[in-house]
Amino acid sequence: MKVAIIHYWLVGMRGGEKVVEALCDMFPTADVYTHVYRPERISESIRRHSVKTTFIARLPFSRRHYQKYLPLMPLALEQLDLQDYDLVISSESGPAKGVITRPDALHVCYCHTPMRYVWSGYHSYRGRSNPLTKAVMPALMHRLRMWDLASAARVDHFIANSHNVAERIKKYYRRDASVIYPPVEMQGVDLHRRTEDFYLFVGQLVPYKGADVAIAAFNRMGKRLVVIGHGEDYQRLRKMSGPTVELVGWQDAATLQDYYARCKALVFVADEDFGMVPVEAMSAGRPVIAYGRGGALETVLPGKTGVLFESQTVDSLISAVDHFESVADTFDRTRIAAHAAAFSKTVFNAQMAETLGRWLDEHGRAQRRALPPLESVADKVAAAAA
């Protein structure tokens, strides 16, 4: 069986790329297709595979400004020749599922979310865009929305990374989706590390992640906050940070794990599709103070592994931190880490193997049923000859 894995772009190791990495381990001979590829930022597990790019990679400045070429990505996907592949797995939150497969091939889409800037986040993205982008977005997104809906019909089965995303798939594509949580792997965490007097924020520094809310809250409280991440908002966030807030930029996996192991708690402000960061913190036995929407509702257990707050506001976060400090001694690191184990790579692999195996078997039977019996074909040939 020949397998192709399609991912929107490979320019860093975030949640979607961790899923691709796990799929590459499951299918060691699979070929990987993507719009743009920066191997120096990608794990060895993925680099071991044959990684092929669309024509987007050959356009000027695409390694940095690949998202500017979004209107061309549907065309680029449809130019990929996937005739040799029996199983195609698309990893979707940017354009990936719109490939054209062989009629008898099985196409499974692992959906991190229907494209935010096209569907659930359209008005937010447009609202903070520059005047030129704001002017052209309605027409471009209208066309892309129609293509995205049409391309959903090319998928045989959807897998969502959370029940939260499964509801979006149902809303926008009118398709059912199985739910398999993405793999979260933290190796060799020391659950006995001494807790230090700081809170931790981890994430891409873009508006919807809510780092500005966290920084403003900790400025007002005068409590120490360490912010790990990089992105378009870095300079603005650095300027608004007070003396108790430290921005340390992007950190490698080992350093990040060390921060997780030492912090008092993780602060998570985003309305995320799933959100791997809270699970990573819980894998280190650390509680999470999270906004009570989206994927956090499926991963954070109030009173057992963390605290939820009601709105993405400074006042709501401050109230949550105050409440957390009043009950901090009731959280058990071992119990928190045990809960996080339900989202491990081992669980992901087992569920994916079972689900894909069942669908491949059903798909094979359906293909066999579509063929007429050989005897009837022979009878027709004989009758025609007579």
pLDDT of residue 186: 75
Which two three-digit tokens encode residue 386? 């007579």
Q: In this structure, is residue 189 part of a structural domain?
A: no
Q: Exposure string (b/e) for 180-190, b if CB count within 10 Å is 16 or more?
A: bbbbbbbeebe
Which two three-digit tokens encode residue 309? 């707050």
Q: In this structure, is residue 375 part of a structural domain?
A: no
Q: pTM for this structure?
A: 0.88
Residues of the chain above pLDDT 70, percent? 95
pLDDT of residue 314: 98
pLDDT of residue 372: 56
Alpha helices per DSSP H over the chain: 15-26, 44-47, 62-65, 73-78, 122-127, 131-152, 163-173, 211-221, 234-240, 253-262, 276-283, 296-299, 314-327, 333-340, 345-370, 374-385
My answer on whether 156 and 229 are in the same domain is no
pLDDT of residue 192: 84
Q: In this structure, is residue 192 part of a structural domain?
A: no
My answer on whether 332 and 350 are in the same domain is no
Q: In this structure, is residue 115 part of a structural domain?
A: yes
My answer on whether 120 and 160 are in the same domain is yes
Q: In this structure, is residue 252 part of a structural domain?
A: yes
Boundary (domain end) residue, out of 305, 325, 342: 342
My answer on whether 149 and 221 are in the same domain is no
My answer on whether 203 and 244 are in the same domain is yes
Cα Dmax for the chain: 95
My answer on whether 247 and 324 are in the same domain is yes
My answer on whether 9 and 105 are in the same domain is yes
pLDDT of residue 55: 98
Q: By CB neighbour count within 10 A (0-12 exposed, 13-18 middle, 19+ buried), where does 206 fall?
A: middle
Amino acid at 334: T
My answer on whether 107 and 209 are in the same domain is no
pLDDT of residue 297: 97
CB-CB contact of 175 with 154 (8 Å): no
pLDDT of residue 243: 97
pLDDT of residue 364: 85
My answer on whether 278 and 215 are in the same domain is yes
Boundaries of domain holding 247 = 199-342
My answer on whether 222 and 159 are in the same domain is no
Q: In this structure, is residue 190 part of a structural domain?
A: no
pLDDT of residue 369: 67
How many domains is the chain partitioned into structurally?
A: 2
CB-CB contact of 112 with 273 (8 Å): yes
My answer on whether 144 and 205 are in the same domain is no
Which two three-digit tokens encode residue 217? 């809250």
pLDDT of residue 385: 53
First to last CA, the chain: 41
Q: In this structure, is residue 30 part of a structural domain?
A: yes
User: Which CATH number does the domain housing residue 274 bear?
Assistant: 3.40.50.2000
Report the distance separating Cα 185 and Cα 298, nearest Å: 18
For 146-173, the pLDDT digits (tens) are: 999 999 999 999 999 999 999 999 999 9
My answer on whether 151 and 219 are in the same domain is no
Q: In this structure, is residue 8 part of a structural domain?
A: yes
pLDDT of residue 321: 98
Give the mean pLDDT per block of 10 residues along the chain (386 residues). Answer: 96 92 96 97 96 97 92 97 97 96 96 94 90 93 96 98 97 97 84 93 93 98 97 95 96 92 97 94 96 96 97 98 97 96 94 95 78 53 53
